[in-house]
Structure 1
Amino acid sequence: MNELISVAEAEALIARHMPSFGSERVGLDDAAGRILRGPIHAERDQPPFDRVMMDGIALRRSGSLPRSFKLSGVQLAGMAAQTLLDEDSCIEVTTGAMLPDGCDCIVPVEQTRRDGDRYVLAEDYQPAHRQFIHARGSDCVIDALLLDAGTCIGAPEMAVLAANGVTDVEVAIVPSVAIIATGDELVDVGAVLGEGQIRRSNDRALAAALRTRGFHRVALSQVADDLGATIATLDALLATHEVLILSGGVSMGQRDHVPAALHALGVRRVFHRIAQRPGKPMWFGIGPQGQAVFALPGNPVSALVCAIRYVMPALLASMGTVTEPPEHVCLDGAVDTNANLTCFVPAHVQHDSSGRALAHPVPSRTSGDFSSLPRTHGFVQLPPGQNIVVAGTAAAFYRW
């Protein structure tokens, strides 16, 4: 029988053996949601000029500031810089325009009134030097690091790329993932149920977890509890996908053919069985061409917990993603655990009046009980060493 390894050992072994999926260049409009594989630096100072922040007038703030100014020109956004004629003059400006040469102050239009060809300041209004001026280079200077490799390109990152003239970008290749549900009892979602049958759900849940994290190249498959059929199915999928995720057939039963099938296909086992509950039978290995193979238990809670705890972080890390550490929460109730196993317990999280994250445990009755999971946000990880973890205990929290 395979020796149980710890959660930390499983995590480290996966990280040590995971392949890199490479990179590719894509056009900017196709880069949303992708992972940067190289840093992005500022094309120029931002803003590239002293920028007007309010509609109004630009003037020179001298010691004896006059109350009335002759209009000497207009500075619109996108225009080359105009020049102030003298300290008794002003220039009309719009938000986003260059600060006219010779000006060092913007007076908002609501603090002025127009009198013919002159602007008069509002009574008792005293403008300050450099007010409403967005100084050149105050956001960033030329060549400053703006985005690190490993950053996921969302809306703010897209704005930075576009503003700095990046027309195409080097991103991580999204691996092709095959999800294989195993079991004689499984039928498709829309099928009529026969006696002893259940509808496939693990594959859809795993696919949803992948797609919500940016993995859109996902294919679903099914195989019966038959060694020959399992070998044939996995052989075909190994030839067309970089990652295989299996659900079921990985325990020690007489109909659990996945480990034997993978061995027959030359998939090298890295580990099998982790000292945890649920998900103890999890298997991980590397295929002949470097394919990553994750064989998860068939019970729904076990499969989803293993996917969130191990598979998703491993795939994201292999794409160069800068991963965040797990959240830290405080249990608001006691939980029965196991002195010898790490326990993953579904929980609902809310914040108290001080902003502290409180996790309310919602233990599954069995590892097949997935009906209560929609009432939870994820699961807490509770280390071995005691049979009951008391309320107030701090724990790491992983979101679905």
Structure 2
Amino acid sequence: MISYAQALERLCADVRPLAGEACPLSAASGRVLARDVASPMDLPSFDHAAMDGYALSAKGALEAGAEHDVGGSQAAGDATTGAHCGAWEIMTGAPLPDGLDTVVPVERTQLLSQDDDGMPARIRLLEPVEPGANVRLAGSDVARRAHVLPAGIRIEPAHVMLLAALGITHVEVVRTPRVAIVCTGKELQPDPTQPLAAGQIHNSNGPYLRAALAAMGVQVVSCETVDDTSDNYARAVQAACTAGVDLIVSTGAVSMGRYDFVPETLRGLGAEVLFHKVAMRPGKPLLAARMRGGALVLALPGTPMAVAVGLRFFTVPVLRAMQRLGSEPILHACLDTAQQPKQGLRHFLRATLFQDGEGRLHAVVQGPQHPFRIRPFAEADAWVVLPETAGDCPAGTLVQIVSMQATPAFPLTRMHASGAMA
């Protein structure tokens, strides 16, 4: 049996990063960048007005009371006009006429006269104007050739806005991970429309894993339920390998009982077992292996919370490593319920969170942490992680917390990061 940190290090050392592929920007949200992005242009690409008003030259009279003839009008989308002195009516976003470099807002001027078409002909400044005021300069947001996005980040809608503004239509992203799910157990009824026979239970692990992985943008190639026989498990694993998956996640049959055939079956298929049994609770019997063809296998115990822990604290880091994503941030909260964890084991505890009147985040560990209980998991906000050396943890202890689900964003944006998750 090895520690959680040792197991994760051994597992991630065996991860093979996925190749990159071209992706249209319209389909890139949620994908992971495989290559740095540099700007092909200045943003803005030309000097333009930041508000409606009049364009002036800083070389002209900009003091209160100064009067200027208005030579014309410039709207957003108009081509730049030729050199001009005096004033020029201008709208927000319009390029500055050549020779003009300052904009005075229309509300800070007095209209003295209009031409026959009702266009401004002469204005007076009501306040002094600073040279260069109310002008957005070319490249003031992004300079041409500047690096705007680094490889290894998940593309969010704000990134799409930036890339679209730069005229970028395609980006290189990491190929989507392909995962197969295999649930073992003759007690499992895979079809929820069918009645349960004596001794049967509904398969909840498969739907949970499928939903959680899909929320991460992972392609779930298959989700199969097999009985407690080595041959059927071997067939499902081989079919997943033939389908070209990157990762196989199985549940059940991985401990020490007579029907726990997964370790020997994988060895019989030529897999290299990376480790079996981790000093943690729940989920201690977890096994990791590498198939001959390259696919990784994470064989999780079958109890629901062992599956949830295996997904959140092993599968998620593996998928992040495959996609070249960085480590997750460490988040902390004040423990409100004293804990006496067993020495030598890393504990993953379901908890609810609240913020006190001074803005401090608190974690309340829920009642009995039985690994078969699903409802408390559905009601929890976060995992509280207690390391192997935690010892007694009285109320008030600062503890690490991790988002409950395997989605990129933490549900409570008020929390602050302080490093990388161990």
Tell me the TM-score normalised to structure 1 length. Answer: 0.93
Match of residue 8 from structure 1: 5
1:301 pairs with one of 305, 322, 325: 305
| Aligned residue type for 1:206 | L
Assess if the C-alpha contact under 8 Å between 1:84 and 1:91 holds in 2: no
Deviation at 1:367, TM superposition (A): 0.6
Q: Which of 135, 138, 147 is 2:137 aligned to? A: 135
Aligned partner of 1:81 in structure 2 is: 80
Partner residue of 1:385? Answer: 389
User: Which one of the candidate residues 261, 265, 272 is aligned to 2:269?
Assistant: 265
Distance across 1 between alignment mates of 2:306 and 2:254: 12
**Structure 1 residue 364 displacement after superposition:** 4.4
SS in 1 for 2:103: strand
SS where residue 231 of structure 2 aligns? helix
1:348 maps to what in 2?
Answer: 352
C-alpha separation in 1, matches of 2:125 and 2:353: 53
Aligned to 2:419: none
8 Å contact kept, 1:18–1:318: yes
Distance in 2, matches of 1:147 and 1:158, equals 11
**2:23 equivalent in structure 1:** 26
Change (3 A) 1:218 1:392: farther
Q: What SS class does the counterpart of residue 385 from structure 2 fall into? A: strand
Gaps of 5+ in 2: 115-119, 406-422
- Secondary structure, in 3 states, of the residue corresponding to 1:24? strand
Given that 2:177 and 2:322 are in contact with CA atoms closer than 8 Å, whether structure 1 keeps it comes out as: no
4+ long deviations beyond 4 Å: none
The runs of 5 or more residues in structure 1 that have no matched partner are none
Which sits farther off after the overlay, 201-210 or 298-307? 201-210
Answer whether contact 2:84 2:100 (CA < 8 A) is retained.
no
The match for 1:238 among 231, 241, 265 is 241
Query: Is residue 53 from structure 1 mapped to residue 50 from structure 2 by the alignment?
Result: yes
Is this contact kept in 1: 2:196–2:202, CA < 8 A? yes
1:20 CA drift (Å): 2.1
The reply on whether 1:166 has 2:163 as its aligned counterpart is no
Compute the displacement of 1:63 (Å).
4.9
Q: What does 1:42-191 correspond to in 2, within 5 Å? A: 42-61=39-58, 62-63=60-61, 65=63, 66-83=65-82, 85-86=84-85, 89-114=86-111, 115-116=113-114, 117-121=120-124, 123=126, 125-188=127-190, 189-191=192-194
| Displacement of 1:135 | 2.0
> Which deviates more, 305-314 or 330-339?
330-339
**C-alpha RMSD over aligned residues:** 1.9
Distance 1:100-1:350 versus aligned 2 partners, 3 A rule: farther
* Match among 325, 328, 335 for residue 321 of structure 1: 325
3-state secondary structure, aligned to 1:15: helix
Q: Which residue does 2:416 correspond to in 1?
A: none
> 1:308 Cα deviation (Å)?
0.5
Partner secondary structure for residue 375 of structure 2: coil
Match of 1:339, SS state, is coil
Alignment partners' CA distance in 2, 1:387 and 1:191: 47
Deviations 1:232-269 (Å, cap 9, x if unpaired)?
Answer: 22221221122100011111111111112111111110
CA drift of 1:348 comes to 1.4
Superposed CA deviations along residues 327-374 of structure 1, whole A, max 9, x for unmatched, are 222212212311121111111122333433221212544111111112
Letter in 1 for 2:156: G
Q: Which amino acid aligns with 2:157?
A: A
Contact in 2 for aligned 1:364/1:372 (Cα 8 Å): no
Pick aligned residue for 1:338 from 334, 339, 342: 342
- SS, match of residue 217 in structure 1: strand
Describe the superposition over 1:31-54 as per-residue Cα deviations: whole angstroms up to 9, x where unpaired: 221111000001122222222111
Q: 2:288 aligned to 273, 278, 284, which one?
A: 284
Q: Is the Cα–Cα contact under 8 Å of residues 207 and 218 in structure 1 kept in the other structure?
A: no
Residue type at the aligned position of 2:67: S
104-113 vs 177-186, greater mean Cα deviation: 104-113
Change (3 A) 1:91 1:64: closer
Query: Which residue identity does 1:185 align to in structure 2?
Result: E
CA 1:44–1:294: 2 relative to 1, 3 Å? same
Q: Deviations over 1:125-172 (max 9, x none)?
A: 333222211122221211111000011112111122222232222111
Aligned length: 394
Most deviating of 71-80 and 305-314? 71-80
Counterpart Cα distance in 2 of 1:85 and 1:377: 63
Tell me whether 148-157 or 327-336 shows the greater mean CA deviation. 327-336
Most deviating of 128-137 and 39-48: 128-137
After superposition, the Cα gap between the structure-2 partners of 1:214 and 1:242, relative to the gap in structure 1 and judged at 3 Å, is: same
Residue 100 of structure 1 aligns to a residue in which SS?
A: coil
| Residue range with higher mean Cα deviation, 97-106 or 348-357 | 348-357
Conserved 8 A contact 2:182-2:248 = yes
